[in-house]
Structure 1
C-alpha cells in the first residue's frame, strides 16, 4: 500500500486520469482521421490495420503487464507503458507510409496495454476504501468521455490542424501524466521472486494475433472457406489450447483461471465482453448513420455522440458513488436493461428518423453503458487481496477490449453483408459497380456527383444495414443483462464493515 499524503494522492490521481484519457481515446480518435491519413499515405486496402494493430497489441499486453505489476510493482510498468506509448505516438506522427504507421500503432498499443489496467490498480492501491466508489466513478467517467469524445476530437484536429496532431497531442498530455506519477507516487511494495510465464505470454499473443488476422482478413483478402482462413482459425485454436494448458501448470500464470472460481469476478468479466461489444457498435455506427444516411459531415457525426457521452458520465459517476450502499448487481441490472432498450430503439433507425430521435436513443444507450465503466472494475477486485488486484483489473480490461474488438469486427461483417444484399435487391447486377462500399456516401463531394434517385437508394440500403446491425447488437446487450442477474450480492460497503 501507498502511504502518500493527501496532496500527493490528488496529484497521482490526476496523472492516472490523464493517462487513461490518452490511452483509451487513442482507440477511437483515429477513426475520423483515417480518410485523411489514407488520402496522404495511400494504402486504402490496409487502413483497417491502423486501428487493429493498436487493439491487438493492447489486448496482448494487458494481462501480461497486469501480472508483472503484481510481481514487481505498479510504478515501473506504468512508467514503462507511458514512455512506450509516447514514443509510439511520435513515430505515428512522422510515418511516411501506411505500413510504417501500422507498425508504429502496434508500438503505441504495447504502451496502451500497460497504462489502462495498471492505472486502475494504482487507484485502488492509493485511495482509501471509503473513497474508492467515488474514484471509480470518476475513472469510469473519464473512460466513457474518452471513448465517445475521441471521434469528435479526431475530426476537429484533422479538419482544422493536421492528422499528425491526432498523435502528437499525446505528448504534452503524456508528459504531464509522467511527471505527476513518477515524482509523486511513492510506491511501497513487498516484492517476491517469481517466475515469468513466458509460454503463457507467447501463446496468448499468438492466439490473439491469429484470431484478429482471421476475422479482419476473412471475406476480404481471402474467402472464409479457404486454406488461409482455415489455417488462421486452426492456429488460434491450437495456441489457445496450449495457453490454457500452460496457465493451469504455471506457478505464476499470466491469467489465473482460479480467479474465475470467484462468482463475482467471473460474471464481471463476462459482462465486460458483452457490454463492450454492444457499446462499440453504437460508438461506430451512429456517426456512420449521421454522415452516410443523413448527410452530415465528420464534425456533425462526432457531435451526435455527445449525448451518449453525457449519459455515460452521469451513470458512471452515480454508479461509483452508490457502490458502497447498493450491491454491484443492483446497479448493473437496471442500467444494462437501459443498454438493451437503447439497442432495441437503435434497431428502428430509418432514413426518416429525426436527429432529435437519434439523440434520445443515444442518451438511453449512454446511461445504460456508463455504470459498467465504474462498477465492473471495482466488482472484479472485490474478492481478491492487494497482491492479485493487478491481474484482476487487467483481465477485466482485457475482456472488455476483446469484446469491443471482436464485436466491431463481427458487426462490421454483418453490416457489410446486409448492405451488399440491399444493393443487389435495388440495383440487381449493377450492384457490383458499388463494390459493396458504403464509404462513398461519407464524402459530401461524392454524394453531389451521384444522381438523386441513386443516392436515395444507397442511403436506404445503408440505413437498413445499420438498423440490422443494431438488431444483432441487442444479443450481447441482452446477454450482459442476463449475466448481471447471476452476480452475487456483494457491495463495496461490505469491505468497510
Structure 2
C-alpha cells in the first residue's frame, strides 16, 4: 500500500511540474514581452506571440482530450510534453517576432495536451472526496507558477537574455517526463472511437480566418477590401460546415449532447468569457509598467506578482469550498471580485500609485483564481471516465478560445486607441510621434533619449489606451457573471463515512 502511495505521489509531482511549466511559460512570456519587442521590434505584431500559441492550444485540446479517452492518458500526455519542449527550444532560437510567433504555435500543440489531460488524470486516480483538495492544489500550482513566472521571466530577461525564458522549460519538462513515464500505470478502461478530424479542421479554420480578418482589417487592408471580405466569408463558410459536421459525426469534437447538461454548458461559457478578460490583464499590465512607469523587465515582473498571488489563494479557496457549497455559489463570489478588479484596472493612469495598482492586481487575481479549480470540476461533474477527457478538454478549449479572440479583438482596440491618442497629442507637431510605434518606449535605455515633453505625451496616450481597453473588457466579464447566475446548483456529495474519515 505504501509503495502504491509513493507511486501516486510521484505521478502527482510529475503532473504538477507539467502544469507549473506550461502555466509559467505564459506568464514568463507576458512579462518578457516588453524586452522581446525592444530587441526584435514588431510592436504592432507582438500579440501574435500569444495568439499563435493559443490557437494551436485551442486546436489540440479537444483532439487530445478525445484521444486520451480512446487510447489512454499517458501516451498523449508524454507526446504533449515532448512537443512542448521541442517548441520551447525553437522559441529560444528565434531572431524575429514572426519566427517567434511560428515557434510558439508549435509549442502550443504540445500545450494543448498537458493541461486537460493532467486534470483528467487527477479525476481518474482520486475518489470524489479527495478531488476538491487535489484540484485546488493543482489550481494553486497554476497560480503559483503565475506568481514565480513573472519574477523569473523578469530576472532572466534583464540579466541573462529573454531567449532563456524558453530554455528554462527543458529541465522541468524532462523531470516531469521521467516521473510520468516510470510511475504512472493507468487502467485500460478505454474504448475505440472515431476522431472528428473534419470538425477540428473546420473549427480551427473558422477561428484563424476570423482572427486574421480582425487583425488585418483597417490595418494592412481596408475593411471593404477583397482580402478582408474573403476572410470573413471563409470564416462563415467554415463555421457553417463545422455546425453541420458536428450534427452528423458519431463522435463530434464538441459534443452538443454534452451541452444538454446545464452545468457543463454554463461552465464552458464562463470559462470562455473569463479567458477573454483575464488574458488582457496578463498581457497589458507588463506593457503598462514598462511603457508608462518606465520600469525594467524586473519592475513589470514584480508588479504582476500581487495578481498572481491573489490567484493562488483564490484557486486554493475554490477547490476547498467545492465540498462545502455549490459550484454556483463559489463562482458568484469569484465574479464579484473579478468584475470589481477589471473595473478598477480601467481607472489606471500615469498618476496611479504602485500601492493602488497592487491592490487592483490582488482583487483581480483573487477573483479569477476561483475559476482555475472550480470550473474544471463543474465541467466534468456529470460525466463518467469515458467522457472525462472530452469534458475537461472542452473547458480548456473554450477558455483558450476566449483568450485567443480576446487578445486579438482587444489588441485591435488598444492599438487603435493608442494610434488615435497619439494623433491627437501630436496634432500639428511635425515628427512628434516618431517614437510612438517603435521599440524605444519599452527600452529603459532608449526612452532616455526621447525628449521629456514628447515622452509625456506618448505615455499619456499609452496609459489612456490601456485603461480604455480594460473598460471594454468589462463586457465579457459581465457576460460571465450572467452565466454564473444561470449555473445549476450541483455540488460534490461525499458519503458521510468518507467525509468523517
> How would you bin the TM-score normalised by the shorter chain?
over 0.9
Kindly indicate whether the alpha-carbon contact (under 8 Å) linking 1:4 and 1:185 is maintained by their aligned counterparts in 2: no
Task: Rate the CA distance shift 1:151–1:240 in 2: closer, same or farther, 3 A.
Answer: farther
More off after superposition, 25-34 vs 184-193: 25-34
Kindly indicate whether the alpha-carbon contact (under 8 Å) linking 1:329 and 1:484 is maintained by their aligned counterparts in 2: yes
Kindly indicate whether the alpha-carbon contact (under 8 Å) linking 2:35 and 2:443 is maintained by their aligned counterparts in 1: no
Kindly indicate whether the alpha-carbon contact (under 8 Å) linking 1:424 and 1:431 is maintained by their aligned counterparts in 2: no
Kindly indicate whether the alpha-carbon contact (under 8 Å) linking 1:210 and 1:236 is maintained by their aligned counterparts in 2: yes
Q: What CA distance in whole angstroms lies between the structure 2 residues aligned with 1:288 and 1:107?
A: 25
Kindly indicate whether the alpha-carbon contact (under 8 Å) linking 1:325 and 1:493 is maintained by their aligned counterparts in 2: no
More off after superposition, 240-249 vs 423-432: 423-432
Q: What CA distance in whole angstroms lies between the structure 1 residues aligned with 2:278 and 2:44?
A: 26
**Partner in structure 1 of residue 477 of structure 2:** 477
Q: Is it true that 1:346 corresponds to 2:325 in the alignment?
A: no
Q: What CA distance in whole angstroms lies between the structure 1 residues aligned with 2:101 and 2:3?
A: 40
Kindly indicate whether the alpha-carbon contact (under 8 Å) linking 1:88 and 1:105 is maintained by their aligned counterparts in 2: yes
What is the 5 A alignment of 1:327-338? 327-338=326-337
Alpha-carbon offset, residue 5 of structure 1: 2.2
Q: Is it true that 1:313 corresponds to 2:308 in the alignment?
A: no
What is the 5 A alignment of 1:204-215? 204-215=203-214
SS at match of 2:450: coil
Query: How far does the alpha carbon of each residue in 1:176-223 deviate from its partner, in whole angstroms, 9 at most, with x for none?
Result: 111111111111122323222221122123223222322333333323
More off after superposition, 36-45 vs 261-270: 36-45
More off after superposition, 356-365 vs 187-196: 187-196
What is the 5 A alignment of 1:18-417? 18-34=17-33, 37=36, 47-95=46-94, 99-147=98-146, 149-417=148-416
**Partner in structure 1 of residue 451 of structure 2:** 451
Task: Rate the CA distance shift 1:220–1:143 in 2: closer, same or farther, 3 A.
Answer: farther
**Partner in structure 2 of residue 490 of structure 1:** 490
Kindly indicate whether the alpha-carbon contact (under 8 Å) linking 1:138 and 1:317 is maintained by their aligned counterparts in 2: yes
Kindly indicate whether the alpha-carbon contact (under 8 Å) linking 1:9 and 1:127 is maintained by their aligned counterparts in 2: no
Query: How far does the alpha carbon of each residue in 1:132-180 deviate from its partner, in whole angstroms, 9 at most, with x for none?
Result: 0011111112223334543432221122112232221111101111111
Q: What CA distance in whole angstroms lies between the structure 2 residues aligned with 1:38 and 1:305?
A: 19
Alpha-carbon offset, residue 237 of structure 1: 1.7
Q: What CA distance in whole angstroms lies between the structure 2 residues aligned with 1:245 and 1:19?
A: 36
More off after superposition, 411-420 vs 249-258: 411-420
Alpha-carbon offset, residue 254 of structure 1: 1.1
Task: Rate the CA distance shift 1:61–1:367 in 2: closer, same or farther, 3 A.
Answer: same
Q: What CA distance in whole angstroms lies between the structure 1 residues aligned with 2:380 and 2:430?
A: 52
Q: What CA distance in whole angstroms lies between the structure 2 residues aligned with 1:326 and 1:352?
A: 42
Structure 2: any 5+ residue segments left out of the alignment? none
Kindly indicate whether the alpha-carbon contact (under 8 Å) linking 1:20 and 1:115 is maintained by their aligned counterparts in 2: yes
SS at match of 1:493: coil
Q: What CA distance in whole angstroms lies between the structure 2 residues aligned with 1:432 and 1:367?
A: 44
Q: What CA distance in whole angstroms lies between the structure 1 residues aligned with 2:405 and 2:438?
A: 21
Paired residues, number: 495
More off after superposition, 98-107 vs 168-177: 98-107
Structure 2 length normalisation: TM-score?
Answer: 0.93
Alpha-carbon offset, residue 494 of structure 1: 6.1
Kindly indicate whether the alpha-carbon contact (under 8 Å) linking 2:414 and 2:466 is maintained by their aligned counterparts in 1: yes
Q: What CA distance in whole angstroms lies between the structure 2 residues aligned with 1:351 and 1:46?
A: 25
Alpha-carbon offset, residue 460 of structure 1: 1.9
Task: Rate the CA distance shift 1:351–1:105 in 2: closer, same or farther, 3 A.
Answer: closer
Query: How far does the alpha carbon of each residue in 1:22-78 deviate from its partner, in whole angstroms, 9 at most, with x for none?
Result: 122323322444455566667666554333322211111011111111111111111
Structure 1: any 5+ residue segments left out of the alignment? none
Q: CA RMSD in A?
A: 2.3
SS at match of 1:77: helix
Q: What CA distance in whole angstroms lies between the structure 2 residues aligned with 1:188 and 1:319?
A: 29
Task: Rate the CA distance shift 1:96–1:293 in 2: closer, same or farther, 3 A.
Answer: closer
Q: What CA distance in whole angstroms lies between the structure 2 residues aligned with 1:94 and 1:424?
A: 37
Task: Rate the CA distance shift 1:372–1:92 in 2: closer, same or farther, 3 A.
Answer: same
Task: Rate the CA distance shift 1:213–1:225 in 2: closer, same or farther, 3 A.
Answer: same
Q: What CA distance in whole angstroms lies between the structure 2 residues aligned with 1:482 and 1:337?
A: 12
Task: Rate the CA distance shift 1:355–1:154 in 2: closer, same or farther, 3 A.
Answer: same
Kindly indicate whether the alpha-carbon contact (under 8 Å) linking 1:423 and 1:461 is maintained by their aligned counterparts in 2: yes
Kindly indicate whether the alpha-carbon contact (under 8 Å) linking 2:31 and 2:300 is maintained by their aligned counterparts in 1: no
Structure 1 length normalisation: TM-score?
Answer: 0.93
